[in-house]
Amino acid sequence: MNSVYRDEKAQVAVRRWCEDRIAAWGVPHVRGEIPTSAGATAFVTVGPEPRGDGPAVVLLPGTNMNAALCLPLVEELARRRRVTVLDLPGQPGLSAGGRPRARRLDWYGKWLAEALAEAVPGPAVTVGHSLGAAVALGCASPRIAGRVLLSSAGVVRLRVSARLMAATVPWLLRPSPARSTALLRHMTAPGCPVPQRLDTWMDLVARSCRTSLAPPPLPSAVLDRRRSVPALAAVGRFDPFLPPDVLGPAVRRHLGAEFRVIEGAGHLLPDEAPGEVSAMVEEFCATVVKG
């Protein structure tokens, strides 16, 4: 197993940042840990109890993200649904820092099945962003009643342009808030402001962590088996990694899922369009209940 953290001091700094941000959140919530084969998994739960047979929402953040970074979206989602955010093991946050060297999506799929059984009673709609969406696709748990896939990895390979690479390398080699901002601007839609918390966070990540690469696509046979569960996929119009004209046809071909393009957004849908994402998730959850 590899650790996401450069050393113990780095792990302490990341945990403190996340804990402080969640503690300062003005929304009533429950925070805890559950044991899994991937190590301790941190979660945050907020919102009303599920009504009748309605599904809860399980939010799976993307690469380098976690519950502490997703609070604005969580607050939107929790207006109508019970929401549980799981910090992915092997990513910066409050869960265990270890991750395997190979077959990570298989490992994550097993982990998610265990986490759902421990933390979420009843059916759930998983809302995964980027890596989190790939993890949801890699999991065959019967608890999953539907999947909302935001800027989904795991379907096609992510594209990395020369311009994006030119912003990534300085961020990794000589971290600074300014270099974090420059990288984030490539990931968001033109003219979209970068939230200050992301600048600070990405600077901390570059200094403290060994960031992971995007996962490769899941095997076609695995994706085909996921067609048995309802899914809705969405991507930002200006996503540099997953252009709509590349991701859309692949989602329809492999998953048979509805595909939407969110205007005025790039790759960071939870930050750029929390209201639109929340409305889309609620609409999807209502459809799953009727189905």
Each residue of 113-156: pLDDT tens digit?
999 999 998 899 999 999 999 999 999 999 999 999 999 999 99
- Judging by DSSP bridges, how do beta strands 30-34 and 144-150 pair with one another? unpaired
How confident is the model at residue 132, as a pLDDT? 98
Averaged pLDDT, 34-50: 94
- Judging by DSSP bridges, how do beta strands 56-60 and 83-86 pair with one another? parallel
Structure tokens at 154: 């795991």
Q: Domains of the chain by range and CATH?
A: 2-159+217-290 (3.40.50.1820)
C-alpha 256: how far from its chain's center?
22
Are 277 and 150 contacting, i.e. CB atoms less than 8 angstroms apart? Answer: yes
How confident is the model at residue 74, as a pLDDT? 97
CA-CA distance, 106 to 118, in Å (whole number)? 19
Beta strands per DSSP E along the chain: 2-3, 30-34, 41-46, 56-60, 83-86, 98-99, 124-129, 144-150, 231-236, 258-262
Q: How many CA atoms lie within 13 A of 23 on its CB side?
A: 6
In which band, very low, low, confident or very high, does the pLDDT at 235 lie, cut at 50, 70 and 90? very high
